[in-house]
A = this chain, B = another copy of it.
Amino acid sequence: MTDLLARYAAFVDDVLLPLEPLVLAHPWTAVASQIDTARQEARHRGLWAPHLPAAFGGLAMPMAEFAEVSAILGRTPIGHYACNVQAPDVGNMELLLAHGSAEQQARFLRPLAAGQIRSCFGMTEPARAGSNPVWLDTTAVRDGEAWVINGRKWFATSAEGASFCVVLAVTTPGAAKPHQRASMFIVPTDTPGYALARNIPVMGHVGAGYASHGELTFTDCRVPASAMIGAEGAGFLLAQERLGPGRVHHCMRWIGVCDRAIDLMCRYALRRETAPGEPLAYKQVVRHWIAESRAETEAARLFVRDTVAKLERVGQRAARDEISMIKYFVPSVMQKVLDRALQVHGGYGLTDATPLANWWAHERAARIYDGPDEVHKDAVAKHTLAQYLPPRG
């Protein structure tokens, strides 16, 4: 394992970091071919799809090991993509692996695993708070052998260029429990009635290709019954099952962001002089930022590792509080570390010469997507307090 991690680190250093300035300075689509070359190199070095079973061309890596890989790949904004473990595809792969029919796996999972196509995920809706995922307007109505989908989704990351979309729609509005009303469908993006209405401008960027967030419309969009993933009414549970590890995946990646920010902070502090012979690294305030960032990042890393271990040991439900806790703990650390790293870099940090500015702008979303901090804190508090209450009769 140590050797494999070293190989991932070498891949990042040798192949991805040199590519980084190009990616930061151009729209994704303009540098797609260079990124594809890096993907080829990842395959060549045996680093492709660590999370997938060998049958799908992957390394069958346990989650605990993948966490370490992810922290390495997270050091650059293109790390995960280069090895085909990027959101939202990674979540769709896990979903199809666990719950896709043989046909779904053959048609959608296999090319996705091979990096031949991309996908997106349509859950959040513009008119409904993402913090209440069971409150959806999009519907799928049975019509003979088909389902007819109508509705609007947004923040469908990477919709531009995706070959299919996994979408959540209400199929069973009369179900007793709100979380049993929706089902999940695979919608190929060339299905009539499906449209990418626009790329949503985020932090001033309309984005392009993989690096974009789409708003989707479904207008009498008809898919066959075989497009459903899992059972009718299981959509929300599948989404939750997809989101749990997804949150952990993000946290693992953010550790890499912190590591890189500290690395950049140290290098720049040693290099940049405020007067001849007086590097920033002589400033006690800068030194303390480095020390604080290291401590917070180590604590965050250990918390993520421990959560992964628990998740693998006892399952997602029993580890839900830990997953929630890292989901708000790690981004708060990341934001502090990025803030310090930016401040050390001064004006230079605001430019695209490093990934710091990009992360500052775009990882602000970390405290919002996959459940905002507040929703996770509510959940942890509820479960914590419940332990003090008598069990319900």
Query: Which of chain B's residues has its CB closest to A131's CB?
Result: B274
Question: A18 at interface (Cβ–Cβ under 8 A)?
Answer: no
A272 to chain B: closest residue by CB: B129
Query: Quick one: given A299-B299, A384-B266, are A358 and B284 in contact (CB under 8 Å)?
Result: no
CB-CB nearest in chain B for A263: B388
A259-273: CB near B (< 8 Å → 1, else 0) gives 000100011011011
- Tell me whether A285 and B155 are in contact in the complex, defined as CB-CB below 8 angstroms, given that A270-B385, A381-B290 are known contacts: no
| Chain B nearest CB, measured from A302 CB (Å) | 4
What are the interface flags for A95-114 relative to B under an 8 Å C-beta threshold, 1 for contact and 0 otherwise?
00000000000000000000
- Which residues of B have CB within 8 Å of A294? 321, 325, 380, 384
Q: Give the contacting residue for A325; candidates B283, B298, B325, B361; CB below 8 A.
A: B298
Q: Could you tell me if A350 and B373 are in contact, using CB atoms closer than 8 angstroms?
A: no
Binds B, one of A165-173, A228-236, A239-247, A340-348: A340-348
Q: A295-B329, A372-B346, A388-B266 known; A381 and B288 CB under 8 Å?
A: yes
How far is it, in angstroms, between the C-alpha of A202 and the C-alpha of B274 when the chains are bound? 22
Q: Is the interface of A mostly helix, strand, loop or mixed?
A: helix
Among A262, A343, A384: residue with most chain B CB under 10 A: A384
Tally chain A residues at the interface, Cβ within 8 Å: 87
Which residues of chain B are near A43, meaning CB under 8 Å? Answer: none
Chain A 310-325 per-residue mask, 1 if CB under 8 angstroms from chain B, else 0: 0000000000011011
Interface presence of A94 (CB below 8 A): no
Contact B361 A273 (CB under 8 A): no
Q: Is the CB of B350 within 8 A of A360?
A: no
Q: Which of B262, B325, B358, B376 contacts A203 (CB 8 A)?
A: B358
Given known A-B contacts A129-B273, A290-B385, A299-B302, A283 and B374 have beta carbons under 8 A apart: yes
Looking across the interface, which residue of chain B has its beta carbon closest to that of A275? B132
Taking the complex as formed, is A144 at the interface, i.e. its CB lies under 8 A from any CB of chain B? no
**Chain B residues within an 8 Å CB radius of A322:** 298
A130 adjacent to B347 (CB under 8 Å)? yes
Q: Which B residue's beta carbon lies closest to that of A351?
A: B200
Report A11-47 CB contacts with B as 1/0, cut-off 8 Å.
0000000000000110000000000000000000000
Closest Cβ of chain B to A301, distance in Å, is 9
Can you list 5 A-B pairs with a CB-CB distance of less than 8 A?
Answer: A201-B352, A204-B358, A291-B328, A298-B306, A299-B329
Top 8 closest pairs, chain A to chain B, by CB: A287-B381, A291-B377, A284-B284, A295-B325, A291-B380, A302-B302, A299-B299, A201-B352
Report A's interface with B, CB cutoff 8 A: 24-25, 124, 126, 129-132, 135, 154-155, 200-205, 262, 266-267, 269-270, 272-276, 280-281, 283-285, 287-288, 290-292, 294-296, 298-300, 302-303, 305-306, 321-322, 324-326, 328-329, 342-343, 346-352, 357-358, 360-361, 364-365, 367-369, 372-374, 376-382, 384-385, 387-389
